[in-house]
């Protein structure tokens, strides 16, 4: 029987971890796994605010890759958790460069899913000469249309989940759910913002998989996960990721010369396939894999298998370059 555990590389522990203070407010957690002398690869987690999981280390052959992972501002083990101040796409790109320079890495493969794909594209377009290529999953470009879909459109497929999300807001404020949640998520009362974050995060967690998984929903409801996801997703969506309109597509020429693999679930309700297809149309040189029996999560079997296949393809390609 094929399971996620069988599809990924064996579980590993970091050979080095640390923290990096990037300003007076934020300190980042980072780790390195695999082969210290291997091909560097950067893993960018989703959310924003999603943080790392031990399984994220397992998309890469640890004998070949020097695997670098970090919790972005306000996420996971980085502190303060859920902090949205001093938190923009430009600052995250700057953080990536600080980590690269700290580790003495010249170039790396960039791997990101969902919000991680947004950040991977933004980073690549800013620092193309630092990138060996890209593995991108569940594409999100943070356009206004995608934000509107997340806040309202998912109700077409998950009406009961969306109703619970909306019912947490007084009826007279439901005409603009994003603003209503922002009002609560960014207030000073922990009781109010933690509950709002839990409701927001549960909403997303309930729509992740092709077949909803109770364990994933429970994880997204936890304080350790929900505060980062709820606050930072709302923060970035409110500001359309601090980017110009359709910036990532308009600047795609900056990275079209680099190899890329796009992996997308056919039934991804959170980041619908139209966005990944649009990216591929702008970047036809990228390999495009539409997984017919998958939703949004990286741990869908078809998606996990395609991501591992992509990192293996890059491994073979780099051996002959």
pLDDT of residue 281: 98
Active site residues: 114, 268, 296
pLDDT digit string (tens) for 125-139? 999 999 999 999 999
Mean pLDDT value across residues 110-115: 98
pLDDT digit string (tens) for 84-98? 999 999 999 999 999
pLDDT of residue 319: 56
pLDDT of residue 1: 63
Flag whether pLDDT at 318 surpasses 90.
Answer: no
- pTM of the predicted structure, to 2 decimals: 0.97
Domain ranges of the chain: 4-144+244-320, 145-241
Instruction: List, as own/partner pairs, every contact residues 13-21 make where C-beta atoms lie below 8 angstroms and the sequence separation is at least 24, other chains included.
Output: 14/57, 20/95, 20/98, 20/99, 20/102
Q: Which of 71, 56, 81 is nearest to 20 (CA)?
A: 71
pLDDT digit string (tens) for 154-169? 999 999 999 999 999 9
**Domain 4-144+244-320, second-level architecture:** 3-Layer(aba) Sandwich (3.40)
Question: Tokens 């996620």 map to which residue?
Answer: 4
């Amino acid at each position: 029987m094929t399971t996620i555990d069988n599809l990924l590389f064996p579980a590993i522990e970091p050979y080095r971890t640390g923290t990096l203070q990037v300003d007076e407010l934020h300190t980042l957690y980072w780790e390195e796994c695999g082969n210290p002398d291997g091909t560097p690869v950067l893993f960018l987690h989703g959310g924003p605010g999603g943080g790392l999981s031990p399984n994220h280390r397992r998309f890469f052959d640890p004998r070949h890759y020097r695997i670098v992972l970090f919790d972005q501002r306000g996420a996971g083990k980085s502190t303060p958790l859920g902090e949205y101040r001093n938190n923009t796409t430009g600052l995250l790109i700057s953080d990536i460069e600080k980590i690269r320079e700290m580790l003495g890495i010249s170039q790396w493969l960039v791997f990101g899913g969902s919000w991680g794909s947004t950040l991977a594209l933004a980073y690549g377009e800013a620092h193309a000469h630092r990138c060996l290529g890209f593995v991108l999953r569940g594409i999100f470009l943070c356009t206004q249309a995608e934000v509107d879909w997340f806040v309202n459109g998912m109700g077409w497929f998950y009406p009961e989940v969306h109703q619970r999300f909306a019912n947490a807001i007084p009826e007279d404020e439901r005409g603009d759910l994003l603003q209503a949640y922002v009002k609560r998520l960014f207030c000073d009362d922990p009781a109010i913002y933690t509950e709002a974050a839990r409701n927001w995060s549960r909403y997303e967690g309930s729509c992740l998989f092709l077949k909803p998984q109770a364990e994933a929903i429970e994880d997204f409801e936890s304080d350790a996960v929900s505060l980062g996801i709820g606050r930072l997703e709302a923060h970035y969506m409110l500001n359309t990721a601090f980017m110009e309109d359709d910036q990532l597509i308009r600047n795609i020429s900056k990275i079209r010369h680099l190899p890329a693999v796009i992996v997308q679930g056919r039934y991804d309700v959170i980041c619908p396939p139209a966005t990944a297809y649009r990216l591929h149309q702008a970047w036809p040189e990228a390999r495009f894999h539409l997984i017919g029996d998958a939703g949004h999560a990286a741990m869908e079997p078809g998606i996990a298998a395609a991501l591992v296949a992509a990192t293996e393809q890059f491994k073979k390609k780099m051996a002959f370059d």
